[in-house]
Amino acid sequence: MRSDTGFYIDGAWRDAAGHDTAQVINPATEQAIADVALGREEDVEAAVAAARRAFAGWSRTQPAERAELLGRVHRLVLERLELFAQAITKEMGAAIAYARSAHVPVAAEHIRVARDNLAAYPFTTRRGSTVIVREPIGVCALITPWNWPLYQITAKVAPALAAGCTVVLKPSELSPLSARLFAQVMHDAGCPPGVFNLVNGSGPVVGAALASSAEVDMISITGSTRAGVLVAQAAAVTVKRVAQELGGKSPNILLPDAAFDRVVPLGVAAAFRNVGQSCSAPTRMLVPRARLRDVERLAAAAAAQLVVGDPLDERTTHGPIANRPQFERVQSMIRVGLGEDARLVCGGPGRPQGLHTGFYARPTIFSNVKTGMAIAQEEIFGPVLAILPYDTIDEAVAIANDTVYGLGAHVQGTDMDTVRAVARQIRSGQVHLNHPAWDPNAPFGGYKQSGNGREYGIEGMEEYLETKAILGYANS
C-alpha cells in the first residue's frame, strides 16, 4: 500500500509525518490502496501564505507567459495519460477505457481552452473616456469532488492561473491520487513556487479553514448542495467571492416527434455515464404518455448492453460506485423507488449477478414515476433513471422545472423551432438539444440550488477576475 503523506506548498513537497491519515479505498476490491495525510489548519495557513506571496509577481505576468505554462501543463497531462487513467480507475472506479477516453482527455481540454482563451482575452477595454480593466481577484481556494477528480481540478486551476490568480487546491480525500499526480505535473511544468499549492484533507478542517481565511479572496467548490451551503456560510464573514457548482436532477424531455429509437438509448447512456455519478446527468426522462411502453422497451434494451464489472477489464463499460457511503445511498434510493410504487423496468437493489465484492450497483430504471416521488426529486448520484410520462408539452416543461435544482437539461425533437422554444423555458444553466457534442467553451453552472457562477470557457476565466473602472483615463 502506498503512503502519500506530503503536501505540495510553495513549489516543493512537504512532509506531513505525524498527521492523521485517511485510507484510499479501491471501490472494485474494497481494499485500501494508499494512505493520504489529512491537512491541519497550519498547513492551510502555510499554503495560503505561499499563494499570497506569489500573487504579487504572478498577477503581473504577461498573458503570453501564463499561456506558455498552461501549454506545458497540457502537454504533460497528455503525455502521462495512462498514469492518470490508472489512478482514477483505482481511486474511484471508472472503467479504464472510460478513464482513458473521457476523464483524462476532457480534463486536458480545460487546460487547452484556458490557454487559448487567455491569448485572445481583452483584459483592458475602453468605454468613452473610461478604461475598464479586468484584474485577477487574488488567492483562490479550490475544492474539488471525488466523481470527476482530474476533470474538476483542471476546470478550476487552469482558468484561475490564466486569469493571473494563485491557488490552493483541496481535492476530495476519497480520490486524491490523481490530484497528487497533477501537482507533480505543475512542478515539472515549471510553475513558479506558490502559484499552485495542494493540501489534502477533510471538508470540516481544510475546507472550512480555506473558506474562513481572510487571506483567501475567492473560493470555488464543486460538491453537494449541503457542502456548498457550509462553505458559503463560512466564507460570508470575510465577504469573499464564492462560486458553487452543486447538485442536479436534470430533465431529458423527449418531444412527441423525437426519433425514439435513437434518443432513448442515448438518454440512457447520458444518465448512466460515469456510473450515474455526474451532477448534470439527465436522470429524469420525460416522455409522452402514449409512448411510455415503447420507451420502457428501448430503455431496458439499452441498459442490457452495459457491461458492469472489473474496471481494469477493457470490456467493462461501467465500474463500481466510487465509495461505500455513495453505494449505500444508491441502494437506499432504489428501495425508496420500489416503496413509492414506481414501475421497475430493470435492475433493482443489490449487486449485479456474479459480483460479490466491490461497490457495484445494478443499472436501474423506474417508469411511471410521478414528479412528487423522492426518486424524481432527490439527487441519487448513481445508475438510476426515472421515466416520467406527460400529456402536453406545457406539462413536460412544468415537470422539468419542478425541482430545486437547475444545472443541466436535454430536449429531443425533430421540429427545431419547438425544441428551441422548450429549451428557453427550462430553468437551468445548460440545455443540450438532440445530444450535441460536448463543448468545452460552453459555460457550465446552475440556477437555484445547483449553485452560482460559471465554469468552462471565457465565463469560467472571468469568475476569477475583478472589474476596475478608471474614469478619465482617456481624457486628453
Helical segments of 121-176, H only: 149-163
Q: What 8-state DSSP symbol labels residue 318? A: B
Please give the sequence-ordered ranges of beta strands (E in DSSP) within 342-475, or none if there are none.
343-346, 364-367, 384-390, 410-412, 432-433, 451-452, 465-470
Cα gap 398→229, rounded to integer Å: 27
List C-alpha distances in Å: 84 to 79, 110, 184. Answer: 10, 15, 12
Asked whether 166 and 195 are in contact (CB, 8 A), the reply is: yes
Please give the sequence-ordered ranges of beta strands (E in DSSP) within 97-173, or none if there are none.
124-127, 130-136, 139-143, 166-170
Catalytic residue among 279, 346, 455, 462: 279
The crossing angle, in degrees rounded to 10, of helices 81-92 and 104-120 is 120
Residue 100 DSSP SS3: helix
Asked whether 216 and 210 are in contact (CB, 8 A), the reply is: yes
- Residue among 208, 213, 195, 217 at smallest CA distance from 50: 195
Residue 407: enclosing H or E segment and its boundaries? none
Q: Are strands 12-14 and 21-26 parallel, antiparallel or unpaired?
A: unpaired
Neighbours of 1 (CB within 10 A): 9
Neighbours of 104 (CB within 10 A): 26
Question: Among this protein's residues, is 245 annotated catalytic?
Answer: yes
| Residues facing residue 23 across a β-bridge | 35
Cα gap 391→378, rounded to integer Å: 23
Give residue 152's identity as a one-letter amino acid code: Q
Cell of 160: 484561475
Residue 325: enclosing H or E segment and its boundaries? helix 324-339
Give residue 333's identity as a one-letter amino acid code: M
Catalytic residue among 173, 245, 379, 455: 245
Residue 198 DSSP SS3: strand
Give residue 235's identity as a one-letter amino acid code: A
List C-alpha distances in Å: 383 to 176, 223, 288, 453. Answer: 23, 18, 23, 28
Question: Among this protein's residues, is 79 annotated catalytic?
Answer: no
Tell me which residues are annotated as active site. Answer: 245, 279
